[in-house]
Amino acid sequence: MTLLKKSAAEFAAMLAAGDVTSVELTQACLDRIAAVDGAVHSFLYVDAEGALAQAAASDARRAAGTPASELDGVPIAVKDVLATQGLPTTCGSKILEGWIPPYDATVVARLKAAGLPILGKTNMDEFAMGSSTEHSAYGPTHNPWDLDRIPGGSGGGSAAAVAAFEAPLAIGTDTGGSIRQPGAVTGTVGLKPTYGGISRYGLVAMANSLDQVGPVTRTVLDSALLHEVIGGHDPLDSTSIDQPLPALVAAARDGASGDLSGLRVGVIAELRGEGYQAGVQQRFDEAVALLVGAGAEVVEVSCPSFAHALAAYYLIMPSEASSNLARFDAMRYGLRVVPDGDPSAEDVMRATRDAGFGDEVKRRIILGTYALSSGYYDAYYGQAQKVRTLISQDFAAAFDLADVLVSPTAPTTAFRIGEKLDDPLAMYLNDVATIPANLAGIPGISIPAGLAPEDGLPVGFQVLAPALADDRLYRVGAALEALLEKQWGAPLLSQAPELTPAVEPVETSGGAA
């Protein structure tokens, strides 16, 4: 276990020094998955054979002195919403059960080219709709800090895999907070890049104008290392930004000195107070005080249109999702349900979509088709797009006053499994602080800020930067992480429970977990 608690950067150094092989490291992750994933359920599919073969190839490259990247040989888990050639990709939905993509998403191809063995595919809310991973058609993921609680969502599987030491790195996707909010409630680092900064090619779309892929890690430096592997221009994604990434790893290394002199930090007035758990607010305020101690100047900024962000998101996102999900028509992918008798193509589509989609997905398809329908389009979708513009204007004004903006990542710590499942509005409120960044296309990161005194569960600190300034997140994030760890004496995750092995070990020989 002590081996597995290291960061990806530490593993990379050990691999480079020959202190461990990628096969040993990958096997240790697979053993850990076998021991605990019956209880945590981070994975929908574990590819032991494939990961070990990639690890052996990595070891051969290292032995020949030709590593493909700094992270060559460090294993990773991938959210099951990214296409992986030859490996099942379900998006947490029954409708894609059995679908094996014939190609790799660009992010997956880049991981392979950089030599990172892929351990498997992680659990998620169906089609990335949710904040708790309870909407997965394959059962919920459990938070490693308390197995009765949610790991956040939709990328709860990726966050839990990293927090439970099953994988040192993971890939997530963030449409309204699905990397950052799971990061907050599991004590991991989660980053959403600038829109267009990481390719969406091969990411099964929920809402194209909001979706972004990003790193899920244990440290800020690991996030930067992974971001540099997967990020940058991709001609296969028409929304990909055609310019080099800022120097992310350099910014993380620079930030670790903990000196923030001259940095202007804006605390967002609208993302605090009512609705925020006392312990979350307390840890947030303490972290802000640390930034001040490091030389930062703190100002309060106001973003009044954030009051409408959630409403705008829940019109734009379902509108785009309802159109995207139309492609699951029983003809092209996965499940096909054929009713008795002499069914028409429409009967087959209806039966397949009825059986294949879960309740939350159906709810959003209905919402989206309604918002886009003739006569309502201007009143709903059109108005929401106007709010989106106002939110971008609020951000622009705030970034005139501050270099970065900060808020709690999520209003509460991890809630109990089942607690909000029947209350969609309560579920949607989890993303109140993360959604504005998606609507404006700006980057954001969640950093572990400690444990809430009232429940001992992780709290996330969100940092936001202007578009294309992702390097600021790494500088400020690494500084805060260093300052907090000096206080705690160790990374936050070292306080996470060890997790006793599950009663039934998980089958990891190329089968579903």
For ligand GLN, the binding residues (CB under 6 A) are 128-131, 154, 174-178, 206, 317, 431
CA 382 remoteness from chain centre? 29
Bridge partners (DSSP) of residue 43 are 122
Q: Quick one: 226 or 317, whose CB is closer to ligand GLN? A: 317
Torsion angles phi and psi, residue 338, rounded to 5: -110, 110
- As measured in angstroms, the least distance from the Cβ of 336 to ligand GLN is 27
Strands of 458-464's sheet in order across: 43-46, 118-122, 76-79, 169-174, 212-217, 189-192, 444-451, 458-464, 404-408, 264-268, 297-301
Helices (H), 327-382: 345-356, 359-372
Pair 513, 43: CB distance under 8 Å? yes
Q: Quick one: 153 or 232, whose CB is closer to ligand GLN? A: 153
- As measured in angstroms, the least distance from the Cβ of 82 to ligand GLN is 13
Q: Give the pairing of strands 444-451 and 458-464.
A: antiparallel
* Separation of alpha carbons 264 and 247, rounded Å: 20
Clarify whether 5 is annotated catalytic.
Answer: no
Q: Quick one: 167 or 317, whose CB is closer to ligand GLN? A: 317
Kindly state the tokens that stand for 64: 């020949």
Q: Quick one: 175 or 508, whose CB is closer to ligand GLN? A: 175
Phi and psi based region of residue 272 (left: phi greater than 0; alpha: psi -120 to 50; beta: remaining)? beta
Q: What is the CA radius of gyration of the chain?
A: 21
Considering the candidates 58, 154, 240, 446, report the single residue annotated as catalytic.
Answer: 154
CA proximity to 317, closest of 174, 151, 463:
174
- As measured in angstroms, the least distance from the Cβ of 319 to ligand GLN is 12
- As measured in angstroms, the least distance from the Cβ of 360 to ligand GLN is 8
- As measured in angstroms, the least distance from the Cβ of 316 to ligand GLN is 11
- As measured in angstroms, the least distance from the Cβ of 231 to ligand GLN is 18
- As measured in angstroms, the least distance from the Cβ of 131 to ligand GLN is 4
Pair 330, 348: CB distance under 8 Å? yes
Pair 39, 144: CB distance under 8 Å? no
* 3-class secondary-structure state, position 485: helix
- As measured in angstroms, the least distance from the Cβ of 211 to ligand GLN is 7
Dmax of the chain from CA atoms? 74
Q: Quick one: 10 or 174, whose CB is closer to ligand GLN? A: 174
* Separation of alpha carbons 133 and 42, rounded Å: 10
- As measured in angstroms, the least distance from the Cβ of 132 to ligand GLN is 8
Torsion angles phi and psi, residue 364, rounded to 5: -75, -35
* Separation of alpha carbons 178 and 428, rounded Å: 12
Considering the candidates 22, 69, 132, 178, report the single residue annotated as catalytic.
Answer: 178
| Per-residue H/E/C for 109-121 | HHHHHCCCCEEEE
CA distances from 8 to 137, 168, 423 (A): 31, 6, 38
Clarify whether 178 is annotated catalytic.
Answer: yes
Kindly state the tokens that stand for 282: 């307390």
Kindly state the tokens that stand for 396: 């622009």
Considering the candidates 7, 22, 79, 240, report the single residue annotated as catalytic.
Answer: 79
CA proximity to 43, closest of 162, 129, 209, 203:
162
Clarify whether 154 is annotated catalytic.
Answer: yes
337 CB-near residues (< 8 Å, 6+ apart): 330, 348, 351, 352, 354, 355, 356
Active site residues: 79, 154, 178
